[in-house]
Structure 1
Amino acid sequence: MTFVIGSACVDVTDRACVDECPVDCIYIGSRSAYVHPDECIDCSACEPVCPVEAILPADDVPDTEAEFIADNARFFHEPLPGRSDALGAPGGARKTGEIGVDTLFIAGYEAS
């Protein structure tokens, strides 16, 4: 199991989760943050510091947010807009810095 960042994070700029993550597995797009499913160690340190409660264990994501599970993985395993390759496992968000683009799903997502 890994943690997933859902719809409540879209267009939120608070990044307390990034600062709290001991393995540096939360990457920043343009409108949302993403948990790397292979780098996350399931420690749950990010979950309680999220001011909008957008971070959940994948097994606890409600059906209405199920697309966010696949989309979090898609951010790393498929090329993002403007890139010819997938991010893969870069080994830490601080090393890559903000990615600055999102998946097509998040780019077109209507935040409430």
Structure 2
Amino acid sequence: MAFVITGPCETEKAGECVTVCPVDCIEEGQDQFYINPDICIDCGACKAVCPVDAIEEEYDLTPEQETYLEKAEKYFGI
């Protein structure tokens, strides 16, 4: 499992998640930050610091939020 950055990041892009990630799996895209699901170790550090609650665990995504996992996979070429 991995964490996924969802819609609220599109308007905020705060970036605290990048600085706390122990495996450097978060990158800034054009419209939001993305978590590489192949590298994420599911530690939750990013979720704890996100000021807009944009980060969800993959298995907790609603059907509407699943597009954000697809966007991350496309961004990383997975």
TM bucket (normalised to shorter chain) is: over 0.9
**3-state SS of paired residue (1:64):** coil
Aligned Cα RMSD in Å?
1.2
Using the size of structure 2 for normalisation, the TM-score is 0.92
Q: CA deviation at 1:11?
A: 3.1
- Cα distance in 2 for residues equivalent to 1:13 and 1:25: 16
Corresponding position of 2:41: 41
Percent same amino acid among aligned pairs? 40
TM superposition outliers: structure 1 runs of 4+ over 2 Å: none
* Structure label with greater radius of gyration: 1
- 1:47-96 Cα shifts (integer Å, max 9, x gaps): 01001101011001112211111111110117xxxxxxxxxxxxxxxxxx
Give runs of aligned pairs for residues 88-107 of structure 1, distance below 5 A. Answer: none
Q: Which has the higher strand share?
A: 2
Corresponding position of 2:22: 22
Residues 35, 72 of structure 2: 8 Å contact kept: yes
Which amino acid in the other structure matches residue 9 of structure 2? C
Unaligned runs of 5+ in 2: none
Provide the aligned length of Structure 1 versus Structure 2: 78
Q: Is 36-45 or 5-14 further displaced after alignment?
A: 5-14
Give runs of aligned pairs for residues 81-92 of structure 1, distance below 5 A. Answer: none
Higher RCO, 1 vs 2 (CA within 8 Å, ≥6 residues apart): 2
Give runs of aligned pairs for residues 63-82 of structure 1, distance below 5 A. Answer: 63-77=63-77
- Cα distance in 2 for residues equivalent to 1:64 and 1:25: 23
